[in-house]
Amino acid sequence: MSVSPRPGAALSNLPEMYREMVLVRELSSRAVALQRQGRIGSWLGSEGQEAAMVGSAHALEPFDWVFASYREHAVPLVRGVPVVALFNHLFANVDDNARGRNLPPEYTFREVNFVSVSAPVGNQALQAVGAATAAQIRGDRTVVMTYFGDGTASQGDVHTAMVFAAQLKAPVVFFCQNNGWAISVPTARQSAVPLVERAAAVGLKGIQVDGNDAQEVLDATRAAVDRARSGAGPTFIVAMTYRLGAHSTSDDPSKYRDAAELARAEARDPLRIARAQLGLSDSEDEAIRAEARRAIAEAVAQAERVPRPQAIELCDGVYAEMPWHLRLEQQEL
């Protein structure tokens, strides 16, 4: 179904972005259920952060590159990856690009320039600056976006990456989803100043945005991407948002945050904000959600039918020439 912006609103991507935000919210809910049922291994949710992910991803061109963390589920979807491909990864089947070798959810989608996510936090920022510098040397128009959270922003890798990017004027955008918590440590315990103020210390342009307003995120990120593409240098964007759910399926947030804080955050749910901006009726909104649930149910059913890789394939594609001891083990297997 088509959804029109609210009367008087500027032409925007909001109708499309809202459908994508709903899709990733429903995806996260289903992934938690699958993990609880023992059908997938683990899950790190993104409830409450949909506007930050979707809005920023819409600012990129198809030829740009993304170095993400384990929570940017919406970004590959926005870039054209089908929902079933995310579930192929979560079920670790033979259609998974990583063929079951990465922890879930640590996607890799080379087909849309989405670099493999890894468990260590922060290293992707350095890799992003390297890729951006390579693009700069080649003289092409590529911009690189790297995502991380407020906790990861305290990692030395991120600081080093920002120092190099600023010095080289690398075409990179640092996008921090400040969701209030580094697992159980609040942002106030992590930094004596607002995170965005760190940009000035290393020579970056710093922008803080309402991470729960998808259109505001898109506008700010598009400006940062255009700035990087023009050769004016990198930008550090801090999207102020909130993690409504648990850090992961092995986390219990009730142990470290109170119900009143969560209630205040739920009042600013990005889906609620976008729906109000679009002026959607209950029936229009339910149609969008039902469509998302159908797409996810079909993707789950399809991905779960695909077999998993066999143990004998473990080293396929890893070595140009497999070491003798692994060949021996493969033969024994």
Active site residues: 243, 247, 256
Both tokens assigned to 65: 């590159």
> Using CB atoms within 10 A of its CB, is residue 237 exposed (0-12), middle (13-18) or buried (19+)?
buried
How far, in Å, CA of 247 to CA of 178, rounded? 13
Residue 183's identity, in one-letter code, is I
Instruction: Give the sign of the dihedral formed by CA 226, CA 229, CA 230, CA 231.
Output: positive
CB-based contact 299:34 (threshold 8 Å): no
Half-sphere exposure of 176 (CA within 13 A, CB side): 31
Pairing of strands 181-182, 172-178: unpaired
Residue linked to tokens 């120092």: 163
